[in-house]
Copies of this chain bind each other. A is one copy, B any other.
Amino acid sequence: MSRKNSLFQKLVNQLLEDIDKKYQVGDILPSDVALAELFGVSRTTVRKAIEYLEEQEVVLKSDSGKVLLSMPKKEHFFDVSKLSKPKEKIVEEYFLGLIQSGALKSGDKFSELELARQSESSTVVVREFLIRFSRFGLIEKNPRSQWQMKKFDENFIDQLHELRYLFEMNSLSHFMSLPDSSDYWGQLNELFIDHKNLMPRMHDDYESFPKLDERFHFLLQEARPNPFISEFYTVISFIYHYHYQWERNKERERNTVAVKEHIDIMACMLMKDYQGATIALAKHLDTAKNMLKNTALL
């Protein structure tokens, strides 16, 4: 099989919707190039779609341009709902599922072919996904042999933590040197208040913490974005999510501690107490590391 013409089908639908919204019978549609630009596809695809609309007698090409013959009807739309997602996505979901469900554990080997069969795609797609995913350092492979889940041991966690520590401290230092006039201070303050508000409700509402967590660590980075660092964060959060899913029961406890620690850090930051913030952040990261160790290492 080759690729599916999903782009084409989606475009037709978008086009029909757009027509329905903006034009009336007799109007002239924009040029190919304009449409291609508008929908972010190539002109080739636009032309295919228009051609289809001609067949459906919605559009007629005349000397003056593409004339709208009749308004779109339901039957002109494609049923795009069960168009499969891009294969890459499917494989990704399937594979991450395997990890998350614990079917693939630290040290396990697995085969491309098997994955391809189970995710109903081809070995090429699988392999390309795995190569891409391997940058996260969770899987690896030697020539002529199978892929293998990296051993997730204490050493690995320490190395991960070392980087995280470096990066977050770096972000903190840059944040602290922002001028008072910077908008980020305002955002930090808001976040601080949100934390304060959540705290007393923590016992029942502990599940809304992760959002705050993300906002916090993201805000720190955002002030001085660096794509190398951001990418690393994807790994971090993936790993944490992966490992914490097991121990849902301890989640409330974990989050409660974390909220407090966040508050400590932000309090220092807002008071421009760089040293205090450093200490608080170090403590927070350390707690995180130890919790991860307790959870992930049996």
Q: Which residues of A are in contact with B by a Cβ distance under 8 Å?
A: 7, 86, 124, 127-128, 131-132, 135, 137, 143-144, 159-160, 162-163, 166-167, 170, 226-229, 232
Contacts and interface: CB of A to CB of B under 8 A. Distances in A.
Identical chains bound together, number: 2
Nearest to A123: B124
B128 A226 contact: no
The 9 closest A-B pairs by CB, nearest first: A135-B135, A159-B226, A131-B131, A166-B166, A163-B228, A131-B132, A166-B170, A162-B226, A128-B131
Contacts of A166: 166-167, 170
Contacts of A228: 137, 159-160, 163, 232
Contacts of A227: 137, 159
Contacts of A128: 127-128, 131
Contacts of A170: 162, 166
Contacts of A163: 226, 228-229
Contacts of A232: 228
A277 to B, nearest CB: 18
A89 to B, nearest CB: 11
A10 to B, nearest CB: 13
Contacts of A86: 143
12 contacts: A124-B124, A127-B128, A128-B128, A128-B131, A137-B227, A137-B228, A159-B227, A160-B228, A162-B226, A163-B226, A166-B170, A228-B232
Given A128-B128, A131-B131, 16 more contacts: A86-B143, A124-B124, A128-B131, A131-B132, A137-B227, A137-B228, A159-B227, A160-B228, A162-B226, A163-B226, A163-B228, A163-B229, A166-B166, A166-B167, A166-B170, A228-B232
Contacts of A131: 128, 131-132
Contacts of A143: 86
A259 to B, nearest CB: 28
Contacts of A226: 159, 162-163
Nearest to A159: B226
Contacts of A167: 166
Nearest to A42: B144
A81 B144 CA distance: 21
Contacts of A229: 163
Contacts of A137: 227-228
* A131, A132, A170 pick with most chain B CB within 10 angstroms: A131
* A127, A167, A228 pick with most chain B CB within 10 angstroms: A228
Contacts of A162: 170, 226
A176 to B, nearest CB: 16
A41 to B, nearest CB: 8
A69 B19 CA distance: 84
